Structure formats: C-alpha cells, structure tokens
C-alpha cells in the first residue's frame, strides 16, 4: 500500500496516471472470497483515475450451500462460548483498527474515491461500535427476570438466543462502516455471518474479515461472498435472518423473496433527507453543519441531507453563508487529508447526478453554486452543488440523488417546515437547527423520520451507538445500533417455572383449581383487582 500521505498520482507524469495495487498485497485478501475454482472475476475501478484496481473473484449461487454448512458448524461452537469471550474479540477489533488505520484508509480511498477524512469516519465508526458492543453486549444479552402470574411463587425469565446464520448484503458506498460494522452485533450475539460484498469495494471487506480473524474470530464464522443481486437473493435460502442496505426498489424485491422463504429481514433503504433551519439560528454554525451533512462522501450515503428548508427570516443570510462555504470546498484526488470532498464512485453515479441537475435546471431551478463536472481532477468528479427554486416536477425534488446535490427551499413557519419535511414516502434521517433545544426536540418528535438530530449532523447521530437508527415508510424497517440492533439477530424464549410444587409450599394453578370450578374464578377476579389497585404490572 502507499504511505499515509502519498499522492495517488505521480506529479512528474500524467496527472491521471494509473495507480496499481501490488498483486502481492491483494492476493491474500482475494483468496478469502467464497468462490469455486475457475470462477468469474469482476474488475474494480479506482474512481480517482478510472483505472483497474484488481480482478476480484465472484461468488456463484452454487457456492453458498457449502459456505452455509461451514458457517453453521462454526456457529454452534461459537454460540457455546460465554458472551464475555465473544465480546473480547470486538474489543481487540477496536484496538487493531486504530493500529492499522493507514493501510485500510488507503484501500478505502482507492476503492471508493472518497476524501481521506470521510474514509476515516468509517474507521472511527467501526471502532466506536466495536467498543460499545464489546462492553455492553453481555448485559444486553443477559437473561431478564419479569413478574410471573403468582408473584413470588412464579419464576419468569426471558432468554435470548442467536438465530444461527445471518446474511448481510452491503452496498459499495460504506464498505468498512457497514461491511465490518454490521456483522459485529450479530457475531457477539453468537451468530455466524455470510457477508455479500459489492465487487467495487470487496477488498475493504476482505481486509475487515482478515482483521476479525487476527482479533481472534474463529474461521468460517464470517465469510465474504462477492457478487451482484443474484448472490444476494440466493443468500436468503441459506440464512436465518438477513440485513440489506441499498435502494428502496432493490430492498422491496429482497424483502419479497425473504417473505416467500419466511426469513425475517432488516432493511435500510433510500432517503431524501431533510434539514430545517429555524429563524433563531447562528447562521454560520448552521451553514457549516449543513455542508458537513450534505457533502460527506460526495453525498453518496443514505443519511446525507438533500433538502434544506430555511425560515424566510434568515434565508438570505443562511444561503449566502452556505454558498460561500460550499464553493470553498477543496476537491482533490489524493491519499492524504488535503481534500474536503472526493470523487463519485463511477460512471453510473455521475450520470445520475448530471441528469438530476440538468433536469432541475430545465424545469426552472436556479443554480446557486457548483453544477459542473471536473474531469481535470478525475473522471467522476462533480462539484458540490446547491439549487434553489426546484419545482415539484423536477426529479431532484422527490427522488434521492445520492450525490453532492442539495435543494434549498424557503418556509414561513415551523409548521410549514414540518409539513414539507414529511412530504415524502421516504423517512430515514432528518435534522433541525434552532437555538432552543426544547424547540428542536419538539420539532424532531413531529418529524416522520427514523432518526432526527438537533443542531448537528448525522455524524453525531451515527456516532451515538446506543441510539437505534433505521427508516420508516419506504426507507425500510428494523434497526441497527443500540440494543435493538443487537436484538435483531436473536430470538427470545420465555421460561416460566412454578415454585413449591413438590414441597407443598407454593401456590399456583393446581392449588387454585382445587378450590373448585365455582370458586377459583372469584378468587382470581379478586386477585386481578388487587393487583390493579396495587399497580402491580
């Protein structure tokens, strides 16, 4: 790999010179792909240059039965280990990630084209989640006592068991954050994971699999499959739970097949995420936050803000500050921290961004800044773009762009802002900016989104790992993060035991029924009324 602060391009030659990863560096990673002899391959492309990175072996659906068999054998032994031992692996993942960050940051940038600071956000996210679950999983998975029917005479407990084998389908845009971060709670819960990687960013996930084994994860507990929708759909036939992150259209197809097979799923799908800037804000603070919320990873993330509603009393000042800060962003291809925003991932994403901008302008939208491709920087660079006056007829008004394009709209009140933010079938993430935390949290509660952040960006939301995150409506269902994210890959078992049955010192159903069929209903009626009076749950 290149040194941490090396430039991707050779300044003494062509500025878009091909960057090639050393074959010896990637060969051990590629050997980890679940793939048969004579496999087909796919060529990942470096977004900064458009040059090939590696020929990645592809998984065929026929490779899955053996992978699932090995995963189930490994999972039985893993689930039998104490939670503390499983959690210790996650804590070692935390340490190794921070120690080896230079190599994986290089790899992330080469595969995704994102700025190095945005690549580091992925690494920091996984380390944060590994520490959280490593320290808290034991308590979250511990048996829980509840009150039984006959109070002290009844023992009632709720146990949690791993589902078995979990299938996770990850997209190309956050291969470390999702590809390594999503398996962690499933693994610490006692499951095995079959992880489907997109060919574009498979090397990063394979690096994560290697790191997990170095941290002490037994072989076969996490296996990486590389392929397209065919592999993701075939995965459903071999797992006990599945997680999918991707577009709404693809997620619905995935969920439909899962329903046919009776496999429960967690879906995080698209988002046309909105931000409201109230009339009492510090304009510069809100504009700075908006830039971070809109242009991280060139806008190629589900939690990115694409709609900003600004109170008309501060609209001019806020827009001026937002335009100034957006226009000042540094676009650059390089394996260092000198860029504020990197490249789009490839030609298809670039085409979608260009189409949305041209369509909006053709329908009468106003270009505030940006709007141009930057082939001088790399084949898929596009300037961070702000639009105003985007009409409802434009695609960018309602469709997710998944790129560095943001529409700004004026509103006259909080009520109008909430109505506008909620006017979407999608409901993933939203943000509210106001000096009053009470006002902000009240507005958040009225906003139809799975998660809302007040006076900051999705980074604060995502980094607060104890907070469950997920979508509503067409943005999916189920949650990642928090205890809810851990519990997604477990099933609950109720165990109720009656005390004193064999010693004659208890009171339960037998003693109750021995009172006779004309008596026990009256006794139970009095008991229920007494419990209601005493407020016993």
- Give 226's strand partners: 197
- Give 4's strand partners: none
Burial class (CB in 10 A: 0-12, 13-18, 19+), 323: middle
Please give the Cα distance from 51 to 72 (Å, whole number). Answer: 39
Q: What is the DSSP string of 132-163?
A: HHHHHHHHHHS-EEEE-TTGGGEEEEEEEEE-
Q: Of 304, 308, 302, whose CA–CA distance to 274 is shortest? A: 308
User: Maximum CA pair distance of the chain?
Assistant: 98
Kindly report the backbone phi and psi dihedral angles of residue 417, in degrees, each rounded to the nearest multiple of 5, phi listed first.
-65, -45
Alpha-carbon separation of residue 329 from 30, 215, 277, 292, 370 (angstroms): 36, 38, 21, 10, 10
- What tokens does 249 get? 């259209």
Instruction: Give all strands of the β-sheet with 144-147 in edge-to-edge order.
Output: 144-147, 154-162, 490-498
What angle in degrees, to the nearest 10, is found between the helix axes of 116-141 and 83-99? 170
Please give the Cα distance from 246 to 280 (Å, whole number). Answer: 36
Please give the Cα distance from 476 to 332 (Å, whole number). Answer: 34
Q: Of 230, 239, 259, whose CA–CA distance to 194 is shortest? A: 239
List, in sequence order, every beta strand (DSSP E) within 78-190.
Answer: 144-147, 154-162, 165-169
Among candidate residues 111, 121, 122, 268, the one labeled active-site is 268
The SS3 assignment for 522 reads: helix
The SS3 assignment for 452 reads: strand
- Look-up of token digits 């960057």: 19
Among candidate residues 111, 121, 122, 302, the one labeled active-site is 302
Please give the Cα distance from 109 to 105 (Å, whole number). Answer: 6
Task: With beta carbons less than 8 A apart as the criterion, state whether 247 and 456 touch.
Answer: no
Please indicate whether residue 302 is annotated as part of the active site: yes
Q: Is 328 left (phi over 0), alpha (psi -120 to 50) or beta?
A: alpha
Please indicate whether residue 22 is annotated as part of the active site: no
Please give the Cα distance from 502 to 498 (Å, whole number). Answer: 10
Burial class (CB in 10 A: 0-12, 13-18, 19+), 361: middle
Distance of CA 267 to the CA centre of its chain: 10
Task: With beta carbons less than 8 A apart as the criterion, state whether 129 and 97 touch.
Answer: no
Q: How far apart are the first and last CA of the chain?
A: 60
Active site amino acids: 268, 302
């Amino acid at each position: 790999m290149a040194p941490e602060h090396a430039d991707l391009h050779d300044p003494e030659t062509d500025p878009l010179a091909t960057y090639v990863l050393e074959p010896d560096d990637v060969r051990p990673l590629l050997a980890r792909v679940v793939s048969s002899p004579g496999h087909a391959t796919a060529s990942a492309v470096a977004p900064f240059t458009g040059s090939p990175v590696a020929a990645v072996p592809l998984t065929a659906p026929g490779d899955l039965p053996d992978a699932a068999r090995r995963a189930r054998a490994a999972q039985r032994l893993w689930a039998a280990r104490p939670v503390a031992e499983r959690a210790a692996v996650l804590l070692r993942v935390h340490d190794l990630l921070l120690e080896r960050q230079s190599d994986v940051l290089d790899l992330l940038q080469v595969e995704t084209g994102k700025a190095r600071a945005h690549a580091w956000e992925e690494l920091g996210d996984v380390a944060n989640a590994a520490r959280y679950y490593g320290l808290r999983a034991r308590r979250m998975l511990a048996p829980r006592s509840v009150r039984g029917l006959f109070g002290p005479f009844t023992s009632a407990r709720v146990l949690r068991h791993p589902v078995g084998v979990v299938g996770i389908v990850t997209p190309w845009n956050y291969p470390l954050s999702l590809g390594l971060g999503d398996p962690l709670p499933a693994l610490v819960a006692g499951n095995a994971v079959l992880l489907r990687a997109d060919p574009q960013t498979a090397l990063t996930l394979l690096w994560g699999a290697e790191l997990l084994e170095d941290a002490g994860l037994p072989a076969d507990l996490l296996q990486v499959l590389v392929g397209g929708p065919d592999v993701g759909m075939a995965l459903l036939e071999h797992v006990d739970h599945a997680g999918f992150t991707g577009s709404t259209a693809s997620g619905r197809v995935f969920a439909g097949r899962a329903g046919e097979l009776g496999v429960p799923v967690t879906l995080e799908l698209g988002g046309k995420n909105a931000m409201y800037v109230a009339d009492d804000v510090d304009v510069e603070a809100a504009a700075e936050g908006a830039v971070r919320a809109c242009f991280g990873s060139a806008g190629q993330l589900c939690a990115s803000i694409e709609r900003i509603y600004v109170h008309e009393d501060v609209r001019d000042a806020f827009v001026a500050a937002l335009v100034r800060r957006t226009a000042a962003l540094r676009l650059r291809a390089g394996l260092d921290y000198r860029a504020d925003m990197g490249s789009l991932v490839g030609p298809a994403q670039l085409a979608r961004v260009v189409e949305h901008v041209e369509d909006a302008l053709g329908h009468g939208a106003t270009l505030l800044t940006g709007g141009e491709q930057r082939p001088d920087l790399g084949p898929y660079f596009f300037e961070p773009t702000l639009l105003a006056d985007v009409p409802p007829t434009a695609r960018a008004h309602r469709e997710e762009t998944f790129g560095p394009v943001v529409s700004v709209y004026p509103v006259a009140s909080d009520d109008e802002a909430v109505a506008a933010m909620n006017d979407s079938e999608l409901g993933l993430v939203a943000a509210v900016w106001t000096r009053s935390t009470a006002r902000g949290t009240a507005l958040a509660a009225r906003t139809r989104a799975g998660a809302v952040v007040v006076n900051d960006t999705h980074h604060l939301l995502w980094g607060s790992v104890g907070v469950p995150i997920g979508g509503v409506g067409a943005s999916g269902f189920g949650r990642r993060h928090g205890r809810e994210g851990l519990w997604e890959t477990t099933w609950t078992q109720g165990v109720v035991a009656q005390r004193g049955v064999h010693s004659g010192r208890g009171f339960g159903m037998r003693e109750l029924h021995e009172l006779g069929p004309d008596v026990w209903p009256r006794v139970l009626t009095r008991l229920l009324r007494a419990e209601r009076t005493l407020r016993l749950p």
